[in-house]
Amino acid sequence: MAAGAVDVTVDAAPDAVWAKVGDFAGVGEFFPGIESFRLEGDDRIIGMFGMEIRERLVARDEATRTLVYSVVAGVPLESHTATITVEAEGDGSKVTWAYDVEPAEMAPIFGDTYKGALAAVQAAFS
């Protein structure tokens, strides 16, 4: 299994940033490349890259501003877990998107994808 993390500093209060990235159903508002989106219970089904990817909400903690989810179908993976956290940093916020993925060869793809999403979050508050 490969682990990685990407982060970005955002010029906005943590609660404002959390309102955007902590909304499991709101990913379509900032994640680049999403072609379609729907919710089915605790799953979100995202159409992108010509695939339909199913992600399942694992945990969401308002107090710690933490969201955990897993890709459960649509991508050839043995396992995947991602954790998004928002914390105060100076006058703004730090958003971290950490991930564990198997096979390990997929880690760079997820890292680059999440980096793009965080750049879009940062731009949304600029």
Q: What DSSP line would sit under 105-120, residue for residue?
A: GGHHHHHHHHHHHHHH
pLDDT per residue over 46-73, tens digit each? 998 888 999 999 999 999 999 999 999 9
pLDDT for the residue numbered 1:
87
Helix (H) or strand (E) holding 90: none
pTM of the entire structure? 0.94
Supply the pLDDT for residue 87: 98
How far apart, in Å, are the Cα atoms of 90 and each of 1, 11, 98, 124?
Answer: 34, 9, 21, 19
CA of 69: how far to CAs of 11, 60, 87, 89, 91, in Å? 25, 9, 18, 24, 28
The domains found in the chain, sorted by start residue, are 2-24+56-124 (3.30.530.20)
What pLDDT, on the 0 to 100 scale, is given for residue 59? 98
Confidence check: pLDDT of 78 > 90: yes
Residue pair 60/22 in contact (Cβ under 8 Å)? The answer is yes
